[in-house]
Amino acid sequence: MQARAGRVPRAPGLVWLTLVALLSSACGGTAAPSSAGTAATSAAPASAGAPASEGPGGSQAPAGYTGPKVTLTYAHGFTGPDGPIMQVLVNTFKQSHPNIAIEASAVPWGDTFATLAERAAAGQAPDLVAVTEDQIGYFMASGALQDLTDDIAALGVKESEFFPNFVSVVKWKDRQYGLPFSSAAFVMYYNKKLMNTAGISAVPETHDDFLAAAKACTTDGAGKHPGDAGFDAASTATWGTVVPLPWVGGTVGYGLLRGADGDLVDTDLNASFNSAAGQKAAQFLLDLSKTDQVSPPAPTEEVEVGTFQSGKSCFDITGVWKLTDYRNALKADLGVAFQPELTGKQAAWGAAVFMTLPKQADGYDPNKRAAALEFSRWMAGHDAVLSWTESGALPVRPDVASDPAYASNIMAPVAASLDKIFIPAGWPWVSAVRTSWDAALERIMQQKEPVEQSLTDGVKEANDNITQQRAALGL
Amino acid sequence: MRRFASLDSANPLVAYLFLLPHAVLFAVFVVYPIVSGISLSLHRYNPLAKDQAFVGPLFYQRLFDFSTPEAVNFWRSMAQTAFFTAVVVPILIALALFLALLLQRPILGRGVFRTIFFVPTVLSVSVMAILWRWMSADQFGLVNIALRDIGLPSISFISREWLAWIPIIVGTTWWTVGFNMTLYLAALASIPENYYEAAELDGAGAWGRFRFITFPLLMPATLFVAITTVLASLQLYGQSQLITNGGPTRTTQSGMMVITEQAFTNHQLSSATAMSLVFGLLLVVLAAFQFRLMSGRVRAAVR
């Protein structure tokens, strides 16, 4: 009995500890207290002054907020080298808007999104949150964000100021929930020197040119190309391209899917990527390594980046954010172009970041709301978007893309094609469907499942998730 | 009534007052989350909805219905986590004991070696995982560069099924074996020297001394090491998240990773909570079983 009594407190202690760790990591959203920054917001007294003027001067107005001094909290996920550039923008805004203090905090995107719905429900959300394209649909549909349709009209911001594909994805049931200010896309980097060695004079723009160029770039130890008698795929010295798994491959594949006039979901927003277009995209990716032999089978992202940086592949389709690394590695040999037409028409994956106002508690200071709208308007305006492109972001506005001040940017040739990028956004279950799509493509590339079966399995998995999410969102 | 008048050790309230601080923390951070978690898992939870629809055991039923993706993904990841635990726990116990036995002897540079084996445990999981990802990366990782330099073919640790477990298992061993070793060193130091002297007089060799003195007297330490290592291994997350990202084709995805994905990628908080509670319950049952199995041996050994 002595021993039994003695052990009782110890065993559950360990077990409970485990449970705490488990619950806190699995349901971080519910348990985590609201992070720093919101305290200042809720402490500020509601102003009894006259409603703030919205500033009717259009998007070029110097200061559209005339209310009393307010302090806003702003959460964004630019935690990399783009963080300081965002801070410079915030400081510039403060100079022209002495009555609006902005407390910006760079928090990893995932941390903000994991708690945003909870914080909005509790009236504890930051005044401003930058939301990425993969999550905007969920937050629009779940009611975590404020409907800004009428405010945007009142601010004088016109849809025509932006590339249309950036505005359509921040709408849910014809209401608009934010303003785009940042973009990224997958582009095709190329190695001029290696192309020269392979005898390729022009950057490929079509499916056939791309495959021909990729074959010319792929050589084995004996200098033979794929298709030559005695070509040894196991001793390849240089590659045409390298498409890694799962996320980069899934993102390249999304561009191919849109290029074949398909999409991840159908008009009812159910997963439909096992369509003919989806199969065409997946088959193209599989053939790159399996039959065309211009890409290694199932590589990782390190292999992709390492191969291109060491000058051993001609083409690399990946994000604009790789630019700095690639320029350091390849210097003047590096070129950038829009993704070629590979499955029917030119299309590439694009990303966007939107300035949003989360839902707030009843009695929220209208002056703060007016100030937050003014900051959103300013961030999506010409000058701020132009400055923000210094971070490597693509412009969301045609007037920036065609601005002479932007022409010297290495991405300028790509920006001219921004109307051809497709952004997987605007519906609530983007991240879940993307995960199923990426996993389906990975099974195909790893040759675990044939194309059609893998895509159909992926669609089934995604649609089961969608059914559950519809029920939770009351859709 | 006099018994309660003064706060001395005779007052039965004193014990409860001492227990109170822990009880409060326990209630706030353990009892409340579990109770609210159970409630969460029985509703279709959406933080922004006005009412949360009560769905009863729906998410538990789905977890045992293998036509749903959550059942398939959850139980596959549980099997994978069990595989990891089954491989890594014996290594982490045997290797820790072996190192402790070596480093208990008064050899030259003993402190240096103890430090070398212990230092990795102070690293955070992200540092450790990124280090091992760099080392084991396909083609451009340190290991593959070394293989190439000595003329051997490269090994695709990250993109081949089963091989992807190697950096996770080796990395975890390197990272945590020093902690278990330190526990064993402390336990070894508490074994009285005269037991060994007596055994030697009785003619026991090195193996005999280990078999009949060291190992039995280390049983309480082994129990502690085994239970904490099993529980830590079952909570595998950071290593496979950062070294392999659960790949290739989800074959190194752990239970915790699937729960996180269900909550924050698939936005199904209630289903993820049901998974957590089922997982938690399995851990409780396993720990209790392990304790029962081993505590008998501890008592027998210490007696």
Task: Classify the C-alpha dihedral A248-A249-A255-A258 as positive or negative.
Answer: negative
CB atoms within 10 A of CB A406: 17
Give B130-136's long-range contacts (Cβ < 8 A, gap of 24+): B130/B242, B131/B171, B132/B167, B132/B168, B132/B170, B132/B171, B132/B174, B132/B239, B132/B243, B133/B158, B133/B167, B133/B242, B133/B243, B135/B167, B136/B166, B136/B167, B136/B243
Contacts A309 to B, Cβ<8 Å: none
Contacts B139 to A, Cβ<8 Å: 302-303, 306-307
Say if residue A326's pLDDT is above 70. yes
**Cβ–Cβ below 8 Å for B47 and A121:** yes
* Three-state DSSP state, A265: strand
Say if residue B261's pLDDT is above 90. yes
User: If you compute the radius of gyration of chain A from its CA atoms, what whole number of angstroms results?
Assistant: 25
Shortest CA gap B8–chain A (Å) = 24
Spatial distance between the Cα atoms of A395 and A219, rounded to a whole number of angstroms: 38
**Cβ–Cβ below 8 Å for A302 and B139:** yes
**Cβ–Cβ below 8 Å for B49 and A474:** yes
Contacts B280 to A, Cβ<8 Å: 18-19, 22-23
Question: Which residue from B minimizes the CA distance to A309?
Answer: B140
Q: Does B46 touch chain A (CB under 8 A)?
A: yes
| pLDDT score, position A81 | 84
- The length of chain A in residues reads 475
In the block, tokens 């801070």 appear at: A87
**Cβ–Cβ below 8 Å for B138 and A300:** yes
Compare CB distances from B265 to A11, A143, A435 and report the shortest one's residue: A435
Compare CB distances from A299 to B29, B138, B256 and report the shortest one's residue: B138
Q: Which amino acid is at A154?
A: A
- Give the pairing of strands A348-356 and A128-132: antiparallel
Spatial distance between the Cα atoms of B255 and B275, rounded to a whole number of angstroms: 9
In which band, very low, low, confident or very high, does the pLDDT at A40 lie, cut at 50, 70 and 90?
very low
Chain segment A21-33, per-residue pLDDT in tens? 333 333 333 333 3
Contacts B268 to A, Cβ<8 Å: 465, 468-469, 472
In which band, very low, low, confident or very high, does the pLDDT at B4 lie, cut at 50, 70 and 90?
low
DSSP-derived secondary structure letter, A385: H
Percent of chain A residues past pLDDT 90, beyond the cut: 77
List, as ranges, residues 129-188 from B with C-beta within 8 Å of A.
Answer: 137-141, 156, 158-159, 161
Q: Which amino acid is at A312?
A: K
Q: Give domain A186-350+426-473's CATH architecture.
A: 3-Layer(aba) Sandwich (3.40)
Domains of chain B: 76-302 (1.10.3720.10)
- 8 Å CB contact between A421 and A411: no
- Give the pairing of strands B53-54 and B43-44: antiparallel
CA-to-CA separations, A401 to A325, A336, A418, B237, B266, in angstroms, rounded = 23, 16, 9, 43, 35
**Cβ–Cβ below 8 Å for A472 and B267:** yes
Say if residue A42's pLDDT is above 60. no
> Which residue, among B183, B166, B169, has the nearest Cα to B85 in the 3D structure?
B169
Question: Which residue from B minimizes the CA distance to A121?
Answer: B48
In which band, very low, low, confident or very high, does the pLDDT at B302 lie, cut at 50, 70 and 90?
low
Spatial distance between the Cα atoms of A151 and A373, rounded to a whole number of angstroms: 8
Compare CB distances from A142 to B48, B53, B271 and report the shortest one's residue: B48
- Tell me what the pLDDT averaged over chain B comes to: 91
Q: Does B260 touch chain A (CB under 8 A)?
A: yes
> Which residue, among A338, A421, A317, has the nearest Cα to A326 in the 3D structure?
A317
**Cβ–Cβ below 8 Å for A29 and B266:** no
In the block, tokens 């629009």 appear at: A140
* Three-state DSSP state, B24: helix
Shortest CA gap A463–chain B (Å) = 10
- 8 Å CB contact between A319 and A185: yes
Shortest CA gap A442–chain B (Å) = 6
| pLDDT score, position B44 | 93
CB atoms within 10 A of CB A448: 14
Identify each DSSP E strand in A222-296 by its residue range.
236-241
Chain segment A148-180, per-residue pLDDT in tens? 999 999 999 999 999 999 999 999 999 999 999
Say if residue A56's pLDDT is above 60. no
Question: Which residue from B minimizes the CA distance to A2?
Answer: B299
Topology classification of domain A40-178+357-380 = D-Maltodextrin-Binding Protein; domain 2 (3.40.190)
Q: Mean per-residue pLDDT for B126-135?
A: 94
Contacts B265 to A, Cβ<8 Å: 431-432, 435
Q: CB-based burial of residue B260 (10 Å sphere; 0-12 exposed, 13-18 middle, 19+ buried)? A: buried
Say if residue A225's pLDDT is above 60. yes
In the block, tokens 């909290």 appear at: A73
CA-to-CA separations, B86 to A21, A235, B219, B220, in angstroms, rounded = 21, 38, 20, 21
**Cβ–Cβ below 8 Å for A300 and B256:** no
| pLDDT score, position A43 | 32
**Cβ–Cβ below 8 Å for B267 and A29:** no
Q: Which of A303, A304, A325, A359 to mutate to test the interface with B (most CBs of B within 10 A)?
A: A303
Partners of A238 in beta bridges: A219
* Three-state DSSP state, A336: strand
Q: Does B298 touch chain A (CB under 8 A)?
A: no
DSSP-derived secondary structure letter, A418: G
Chain segment A430-467, per-residue pLDDT in tens? 999 999 999 999 999 999 999 999 999 999 999 999 99
In which band, very low, low, confident or very high, does the pLDDT at A6 lie, cut at 50, 70 and 90?
very low
Helices (H), A27-132: 28-31, 38-43, 82-96, 109-121
Tokens of A151: 């405010």
Q: Mean per-residue pLDDT for A321-343?
A: 93
Question: Which residue from A minimizes the CA distance to B45?
Answer: A472
Domain boundaries, chain A: 40-178+357-380, 186-350+426-473
Any residues with CB less than 8 A from the CB of B154 and at least 6 apart, and which? B138, B139, B144, B147, B148
Question: Which residue from A minimizes the CA distance to B235?
Answer: A22
CA A299 to chain centre: 22
Q: Does B287 touch chain A (CB under 8 A)?
A: yes
Spatial distance between the Cα atoms of A337 and A329, rounded to a whole number of angstroms: 18
Q: Mean per-residue pLDDT for A36-46?
A: 32
Tokens of A178: 């934010």
Spatial distance between the Cα atoms of A157 and A58, rounded to a whole number of angstroms: 7
Q: Does B229 touch chain A (CB under 8 A)?
A: no
- 8 Å CB contact between B271 and A445: no
Compare CB distances from B137 to A300, A439, A473 and report the shortest one's residue: A300
E strand or H helix at B43: strand B43-44
Contacts B291 to A, Cβ<8 Å: 7, 11
Do A40-178+357-380 and A186-350+426-473 come out as alike in CATH topology?
yes
CA-to-CA separations, B222 to A183, B132, B164, in angstroms, rounded = 55, 28, 29
